[in-house]
Chains A and B, each alone.
Chain A
Amino acid sequence: MQKKEDRTYLLNQLRAIQNKHNSLPEKEIRSLSKKTNIPVVKIYEAASFYTQFNFKKKGKNTIRICNSPSCYLNGSLNIINEAKKLLKIDVNETTKNKKFSLELTSCIGCCNNPPALMLNDELITNITKPKLKKMLK
């Protein structure tokens, strides 16, 4: 365990790198390791655990469509299929022009306005097919 003076919050530091580079590049993680004195493999262990971090670059924008029960009962599957159709990719893929990556997500706490999705950091609710189409332009 780190000394009190050296306590660092890896989650926040990784978030900063993810925001800057849209991924966690190996080079950045090695720099972080030197800076924090945390071995590279320990950072890799932690970072690879969370779904919001990725090591390989994805699309410029990530769409995460909620498929948990409340949204599922309120049309999430339709939205997911529509997104696949509009973007011409499957879930966990990135568009050719690297503009969008499509993913599913667990409940994002918008069950009072379903179906819902995350567009990067933003929570967007009451998704309809026209709303989705506009978003994905």
Chain B
Amino acid sequence: MIKLKINGEEVKAKEGEFIIDVAKKSSINIPHLCYNERLERIGACRLCVVEVKGMEKLQASCCTQVRDGMDINTHSPKVLDARRLNIQLLLANHDLNCTICKENLMCKVQKYASELMIEDSIFEDLERNEPPDNSSVSIRRDNNKCILCEQCVRICNDVQTVYAIGMAHRGVGTRITPNFNHNMKESSCINCGQCVVACPTGALTEKSDVQGVIDALNSDKFLIAQTAPSIRATLGELFGLPAGTPVTEKMVTALKQIGFDKVFDTDLGADITIIEEATEFIKRLKENKNLPLITTCCPAWIKFGEQFYYNELNKNMSTCRSPQAILASLVKTYYAKKINKDPKDIILVDIMPCTAKKYEILRPEFNGEADFVLTTVELAKLLKELNVDFLKLEDSEFDNPLGASSGAGDIFGRTGGVMEAALRTAADWLTKKDLKAIDYHSIRGMDEIKEAEIKIGKDKIKICVVHTMGAARKLLDQIKEGKSPYHFIEIMACYGGCIGGGGQPPSHNKEILKKRINALIKVDEKKKLRKSHKNPAATKLYKEYLGKPGSEKAHKLLHTKYSKKGYV
């Protein structure tokens, strides 16, 4: 145990802890821009400097470890002066048009400038005037707002191992860019948006589709919204609710209020994904062919696979569409027929946790089905713009026939959820029983790689659940080398799963992500219907329209194919 003083108060800490973390535990929040608990500490922004008695220079609290007897002042006049000056230096090399910036009122530099009571520019404006990179359908890059905190580069390279962007040149000319200054579309970017989550300013934001949706709502088309499993667990945060408060019913009402004719639940798409994927899995298991089967609900992972591992792994990837794509397909075929409308007169808006979904709906295999993707953050902005008093809304239910889902569909939004849902159905089908034990705790939790051996009847199924592409790469390399011991793998590109997606309220904080996951677990546990194949809405669709799971029609509408993707 180390004893030290912070701002005059005695504090205890463990050997090896850093000042910024010890201070946080004592409710002292030291300003920081480059520090992220999930990333390598670099001590670059120098905003977190503190005064340590006996040391002449100020110390960066994010990379200085505590020592016994340290006497620290985190907000002394010398420290505040230094912070103020360093923020002023950042502001002099920054686009100060906050009013027209997407990150307005959410930007960390704004927050600290305000807290430090900065009222004047004391340095000459360096007049950054670089054209933004709008090439990507998911992510907008504006270097005029970049403060070189390097979070995006660290997350893209160290955590996601995508290597789409890096630091170029030196000194004040340093820029974050794809290699050889190519644009994002040409780069190996997988659109996961983790960089957007990390970016403290408006330098990296999602590509906005809000105006397109407003225009659609004002048109005479038939408007349908579908909401992904994780939205119900995170949307509330953007209206001041504590993390992990499910807001399913209010979410549906809000969408209806702003003009959607029908609100369907992507969770039903998830149920159908499970029905198809469990069929696919059992077939491969019986034939002992093309194993391990890898789930393909995550478009960022799919792009990763198509770019880096296509030749080796195409055979392993499940051909099942993602839940959104399944429902979109059914909306424009089955449902359009049912309500006697030309699919061209229906506009489908996906409310998704994910910037990669903006890329997914434009895949040629899915073209013309979903029309727009709004992320959780965009939806909240839209609701606020249209004056929806979210917290005061009444509850509503999803619309039929594409609104009813099982708990298995809800848990798709968390790491391990797709696997659990699939096992519930596969286990029942393999044992030909209605099994009671349907909670697979061994694949829950925040470890990046979770593996387990599940006994189903006579079979011993080896499964693995990964989140973050860096962790996934280890499994993919294993498969590439022919050494994979698994039968079934779930891959999610975002830490925590979709609840931590690029379109979610930005946070890399483990506690917040856990709370969001628990919200989905509770939604699942509260439902009586917890198995996908028992969902009457799903079985009705097969009976009325699709035929049997894995049928030719099911394959045509509910499956897809992949192709090798190039990048610079």
Contacts and interface: CB of A to CB of B under 8 A. Distances in A.
Q: Do chains A and B touch in the complex (CB under 8 A)?
A: yes
Interface stretch (A14-22, A44-52, A109-117): A44-52
7 contacts: A39-B163, A41-B164, A41-B165, A42-B163, A44-B180, A45-B168, A49-B169
Contacts of A48: 168-170
Nearest to B178: A41
A40 interface: yes
B42 to A, nearest CB: 14
Contacts of B170: 48-51
Residue of A40, A41, A48, A55 with most chain B CB atoms under a 10 A cut-off: A41
Interface in B138-184: 157, 163-170, 178-180
Given A42-B163, A48-B168, A48-B169, 14 more contacts: A29-B179, A39-B157, A40-B163, A40-B179, A40-B568, A41-B165, A42-B157, A42-B166, A43-B179, A44-B168, A44-B179, A45-B167, A49-B169, A49-B170
Nearest to A46: B166
Size bin of chain B's contact surface: 10 to 19
Contacts of A39: 157, 163
Interface string B392-427: 000000000000000000000000000000000000
Interface of B: 157, 163-170, 178-180, 568
A129 to B, nearest CB: 32
Chain A residues touching B, range:
10 to 19
Contacts of A44: 166, 168, 179-180
Contacts of B169: 48-49
The list of the 7 closest CB pairs from A to B, nearest first, reads: A39-B163, A41-B166, A45-B166, A44-B179, A41-B179, A48-B168, A40-B179
Interface of A: 26, 29, 39-45, 48-51, 55
B285 to A, nearest CB: 35
Contacts of B163: 39-42
A45 B166 CA distance: 6
Contacts of B165: 41
Q: In this complex, which of A29, A42, A45, A51 has the most chain B Cβ atoms within 10 angstroms of its Cβ? A: A45
Contacts of A50: 170
Contacts of B167: 45
Nearest to B180: A26
**By DSSP majority rule, is chain A's interface helix, strand, loop, or mixed?**
helix
B181 to A, nearest CB: 9
Contacts of B166: 41-42, 44-45
A43 B163 CA distance: 11
Nearest to B168: A48
Interface centre among B165, B167, B168, B179 (most CB of A within 10 A): B179
A15 B151 CA distance: 30
B470 to A, nearest CB: 13
Nearest to A38: B163
Nearest to A43: B179
Contacts of A45: 166-168
A98 B195 CA distance: 42
Contacts of A40: 163, 179-180, 568
A63 B278 CA distance: 68
A26 B163 CA distance: 16
A41 to B, nearest CB: 4
A40 B170 CA distance: 18
A45 B181 CA distance: 11
Contacts of A43: 179
A43 B166 CA distance: 10
A7 B395 CA distance: 61
B157 A55 contact: no
A41 B178 CA distance: 7
Contacts of A55: 180
A93 to B, nearest CB: 17
A70 B179 CA distance: 38
A45 B177 CA distance: 9
A9 B114 CA distance: 46
**Which interface residue of B163, B164, B568 has the most chain A CB atoms within 10 A?**
B163
A70 to B, nearest CB: 22
A51 B169 CA distance: 9
Contacts of A51: 170
B568 to A, nearest CB: 7
A43 B170 CA distance: 14
Nearest to A39: B163
A50 B171 CA distance: 11
A135 B439 CA distance: 81
A66 to B, nearest CB: 19
A106 B390 CA distance: 61
A39 B168 CA distance: 14
B306 to A, nearest CB: 17
A44 B568 CA distance: 12
A29 B165 CA distance: 16
Contacts of B179: 29, 40-41, 43-44
A132 B552 CA distance: 80
Contacts of B178: 41
A22 to B, nearest CB: 17
A28 B234 CA distance: 46
A39 B170 CA distance: 20
A40 B168 CA distance: 12
A21 to B, nearest CB: 15
A32 to B, nearest CB: 12
Nearest to A49: B170
A94 to B, nearest CB: 19
A9 to B, nearest CB: 19
Contacts of B168: 44-45, 48
Nearest to B169: A48
B349 to A, nearest CB: 35
Contacts of B180: 26, 29, 40, 44, 55
Contacts of A49: 169-170
A49 B168 CA distance: 7
A48 B163 CA distance: 16
A52 to B, nearest CB: 12
Nearest to A51: B170
A79 to B, nearest CB: 25
A39 B189 CA distance: 13
A25 to B, nearest CB: 10
Contacts of A26: 180
B474 to A, nearest CB: 14
Contacts of B568: 40
Contacts of A42: 157, 163, 166
